[in-house]
Structure formats: structure tokens, C-alpha cells
Structure 1
Amino acid sequence: MRNDTPHAPETAPACDDDPLGDEIAELSAHLDAAQYRLLVLLRRYDEEERWSGWRSCAHWLNWRTGISLGPARERLRVSRRLASLPLTSAEMERGRLSWSKVRALTRVATAGNEARLVEFALHHTASQVERFVRAWKSAEAAAGAPDGAPDLADRRYLTVRPTHDGMYEVRGRLLPEVGALLVQALDAAADELHRAEEPVAPAAAAGERRHDALGAWLDSRTEATVQLVVHTVVDGGGGAGEIVATEDGSHVPAGTSRRLTCDAETVEVKRGLDGSVLDVGRRRRTVGWRLRKALDARDGGCRFPGCGSRYTQAHHAVPWSEGGETKLDNLILLCRFHHRTVHEGGWRVEMGAAGAATFRHPDGRLVPAVPPAREDVKAPRTPDAGLGGWHRTEGINPWTATSRWTGDRLDLDWALWVLWGQYQDLREAA
């Protein structure tokens, strides 16, 4: 047992008798300490490459534990960084630094500044620590850029994706000159559109005007061809219902579909009542576009357990050279990485009825799409079995993770002056 005990605040909270709040706070500290244990085990699993066969350890973690890829990658990043940050690791192991604080600190902490940053984190809230780290990163970027201007080119991006309601979401970070040109072009197009409109509707907000201006600008400069995928569900009596969607999977309202089909290419995908895509097989090695559409509709992405990548290739379960046909029940979508893994890594894919797929490890073990529940597994007889018992020797209590913050405003400029390494020489010179 450690000699030092977690602190209690010098000033008691307004409500001294709060057993439920105490239980929540103590359990939170236990969870943070357990999170540290998880990160240590995850780092070991990653370093030993026990995830071999998956695209990465993050993909395995997503498949095995249900953590989505973004948080899985973040846990791996933090676990690797903690290996070189002993003070941060020690405080998290004792439940005194939360996951949120540690996640932020590992973005800027080094052997030289770790002690100061940990002390700062213990005396401030998680949101203050995150704000401080963002300011630190911004100051570093500005200081390290040539001529005092940050190198923005590496951070430019633009994404367009369909949302669940059929609309499209546009996100991006544009270079200053590109952003300025875009704003000018949209405003000019909006003014032109406004002059051409009849004043019968209320004035649109700025965001709506720019949206309409973009639509008008695209209409005048492009002749895009829309491809519709018509999913026809056939019942036993010969009747059929239609679900219309654009090529990228965004569903189209009936009125919109009637307009688009006037000048669009239409692909029909026939489905059974169980949702299966009916065979549209071809007796040739290459996968034609109609068959590819059926594969896309059935698989939706890479079928390797835990992957789901949308950038895929068609794979013959029974190779063409061994008599396998190019038809739906012998094809499966795999991303480039897992296509290579199957062909060169010794993995096997077996196709079943209605597109069901079975993957086998090179040693013959079955790898299901979802880790199966096993009733015969018992909790290990280790300290990990009970959080309370495991951590009790560390002295964790309801005040363990409580910040030492005294309620004063966070002065980011002053904090950077005191803590940021670049200012260290200036402070000493002063």
C-alpha cells in the first residue's frame, strides 16, 4: 500500500451528506484506474501483434469489444504514449488523473515537460486541461511554421457525405485563398439568384442563400448523371414494392425519384422477402457492373470480421482457376488489405446460403463475424475481478479524482507563459 493518500478538498462541498454522489465519484476513479490497466494490456497486445489478420489492433479492438474505430485508435495512441510518461501513468493508475485529462496530456507531454503538465492537470478541470492543450498545440504550430505562418496545406480537406435523412453534409478546412474565393463566388451567385427570384417568399437566411446559390451554380456548370438503384422486393404472389436510392445509398423520396428517373440510369436489384439479393450471376471471370451492384447491395462493404471498409474488391470464394463461378453465391466483397490477407496470408472464406460467409484463421480456427458469448467462461481469480477490491489498496475514495482547482478563471496566456517550453528561456532571462 502506498504511504501517501489521495487528497480531500480543503473546502468541503455545500452538501456534506451526498452518499449517491460519493459513490458516483468513487466509481469514476475506479474506472479511470481500470482504464489504465486496460491501456497497459492493450499496449502489450499491440506490441506482440496478437491482432494479426486484422487490418490493425484498432480494428481487432473494434471487433472484439464493440468500441468504434475512432475511440479504439485513440486508446491505442494513448497506450503507446504512456509507455514514455511514467508520472502520468502513475497518477492515472491511482485514479487521480481521468481518461479525459490523460488523453489530452499525451498530445503534448514529453519527458522534459511532463512533471509540470501533470501538476497543472491535478489542479484544473478536464475541460480546462483540454482547452490548455489546444492552445499549446496552436502555439507550437504557429511558432514552428516558416515566416510565422502555420503550414496549412497539410490540413486541408473537404468531405461530402449523405446523412440518414437523405440530405448531404459538407465539412472541410480550406486554405485561406480557397475559402475566400468560395465565399465570394457563393455571395455573387446568391446575389444573382436573388435578383432573378420573384419576391413571394420570406428572405432566406445567409446560410440558406449560400446553399441555394451553390445549387444554382452547380446546375449551370455541370450535367451530372445520377444513377439510381431500385431495390425491388418480390413476394411469392408476384407483387413487388420499390425502395429507390441513389448510388451512394441515400434514399430518395417518391417525388424526387420521379424527377430523377427522367434523366438517370436505373439499376434494378431484386430481393427476396428475407432481404437476400437474388442471383444475377455471370459466367465470366470479371465482375460486371450489374453483378457489382448486387454485391454492393448485399455486402455493403468489406465482409472481413470487424472491417466494413467501403473501398472493396470482389473475391471468388472458390477460385476461378479451381472451377469457381462468377456469380453472387461465390463472391464476397473484401477491402484491398483483406483481399491480400486471404490470398497470401492463409485465411479462407467459405460462402453459405443467402450470402452468409465464414472466415477461418490460417490455423483452421473459425473466426465469426461477432465474438460469440461463452457461458463456460468464468471471471479470472485475479485482483481485476472486482474493481473495489483491486483498487482498495491504492486508497481510492470519493475525492481521489477531484480537481484541486480553486474556482479561479483559467488564463491561457499566463498558463502558456509558465508552462510552455518555448517561454522557459524568456522567463529565466526576465
Structure 2
Amino acid sequence: METTGVTGGVCVAAADAAGLSDGGLRGRLRVIGQAESALAAMKAAVLGEIARREDAERAERAARDVLGAPRRDAKRDVELGVQLRTLDVVRRALDEGAMPLAHARLIARAAAEGPIDEEMLADAARIQSYEQFARTVRRHQADVSIDDGKSLLDHQREQRSGRVFTSSDNGMVVLGAEFDPITGAQLASAISAKERELWRSEDPAARRSPQQRTADAIAELILELDGKRPSGTALLIVADYDVVQGELKRARLGDGTPIPIDELIKRACDADILPAVFRAAADEMRLGRRRRTASDAQRVALAFRDQGCVGCGKSPNYCEAHHIIPWKVGGRTDLNNLVLVCNGCHHHIHDDGWIIHRNRSTGRYELRPPGS
């Protein structure tokens, strides 16, 4: 199997997937991923040049007409092509197949929103998962911002969008929207709380899929006439207290997304945040065998501690509390026996034998495959 970059073209030798070993299949995917990145670099270069010679709108039209790309994908591809003209390090990494396309898009978007350290982000993109890298980009943008991230947040709010349409593929009605991180965190918190409420009311022998439960949660939240908000939907905002200066610093959402201190003050005035101050010995953190499910206070503490799924880094809003020592063999519902995991990683634990491991050097919990 062989793949080369833009200057030499892209070539992946044919192979019978059924005849490959498990390791061979993964190696095959790696080569295909490198080829896809190199092809993306080619496409970005062509569309970027069309946009330079003519304009972005005509480049988008070319992508739709020649490649049959949907309007949204054509717009994203042209934006990437235009931005990569000024990002030499990212362009080379993509060309060489050393950076996934999704990671390159994150860097390009960040560069369009403000100053960045391109080389630092490119190095991180080579080794981090998409979820980890997305958080790295957000934190880096806040670190290099000269106004505590206020202009970035304002830009994100200006870019909010939503649409409702009927899919031409299957006739289903599709709702789509993009929000700034704070509004999005509030919405995700309300949806996940409603999901937990629906899960508790389900027949264990006939449960909905996670995707069905999310859809039903959104529908109920929109269509409920009494406007009652489910419990556990308060917004978690964390900040460090500088004892010397006597002020709060480094404000961030529960998943680590940085926010301006001004937003922390504004939300505190709305009385819609929870203080992230915990004591390990507090009764609320140790429920023992009194109940199986984590309390709202424990979920807040877990979001603060784990900052998302310990396996893949997915936002705390899409995670559930998992017992390290299983409940059915005597495990306790105590904070030190709980970790946050998303639905997919939960299946890895129960179905594939993955294990929870605590990193001695960092103190953070990790999810590892069996035998590692």
C-alpha cells in the first residue's frame, strides 16, 4: 500500500479487505486516511485558486456543478481553500497526509476568527483525537486573545444559525442549528436532563436508542406547554480564584471551553450557575448503596473533574455516570467510584472489555482497551 501527496499525486494500491488481518485492516484505514487528506489538500488548492481568480461564490458553484457537492459542503470546501493559502504549515501537513481533514478545518476556522499559533496547533493535530483537538483549539484561542475571548464569543454569536427543512432522502423533517458555546451548553444541558428523565421512565426491556431518546427529548422540550424545566439543567461555569489578586480568573464551561470573565459575572447575576466548590467527604458526594444513579450534585462534580467522557472526550452533556466497580457486584455510588462516559464508550466497557485506568502522573481517569 502506498500514498503520496499533492506534488506526486495520490495512489492507494488495491487490496482485498476480507483477506487482511485485524492489524492489516487498521493499517489499511491509516493509509486511506492519509490519501483522503492529500486529496483534500488538492481540492482545497484548486478551489482556493478559483476563488482567487474569480470569487468565492463562483468557486462554490464550481464545486456544486463539477463535484455534485451539496451547497453546505461546497461552501466549507471553498472557505478551507481560501484560508489554506495563508496557512503553509497546515497545508503541507494535509498534503503529506499527516493531518486529518477535520483537524485542518478547525485550524482554518480559528485562523479566520483571530490570531493563532499555527505550528503549535499543527503539532497537536497530529496526535490528538478530534474531540481533544477541538478543545485544544478553543483554549488556545482564549489564551492568545487580547480581550479575554470577548471578541471571539461575539463573533460566534453573530454566526449563529438555524434551519428546519424536509430531507429529500427520506422525507424526515430535520432541525439544525449552531450556537455560541454558552447558549449551546445551556441547550445541551436541558436536552441531556430531559434524556435522563425519559430513560428513567422507560421499560428496561424496550428501551429507545440514544438517538431516538435525544429526538424525543428535543420534541418534548419544544412542545411542552407548561414550560417546566427539567432538573439538572443549571449551567456549570468554573473559574479559578487568584488569592493574591483577589479576583476570579480563567472562567470556563464544564467541558473546559474558555469564556470571558464578563460572561461569568453576567451569568452570576442571573443566578443560573452552580459553584464548582466540592469536598470529597461531603455526604452528597458519597451516596453509597442508597441509590444507583448519580445525583445532580455528583454529575456537576464529575463534569468539573473529568471535563467529558474519559474515553473520547465528548462533552459532559452527552455522558452518563459509570460505576468503576459495578453496582451489581457491590459498587458504591460515590464520586471516587464514578466516571463520565458517553454511550459509545459505555458499550466498549460492557461489551468489549475496556477498562477504566487512573493515570498516576496526571490523576485523570482514562479508558483503555483490554490487554493494554
Q: State TM-score, norm by structure 1.
A: 0.35
With CA pairs under 8 Å and 6+ residues apart, which has the higher RCO, 1 or 2? 1
Higher alpha-carbon Rg: 1
Greater helix proportion: 2
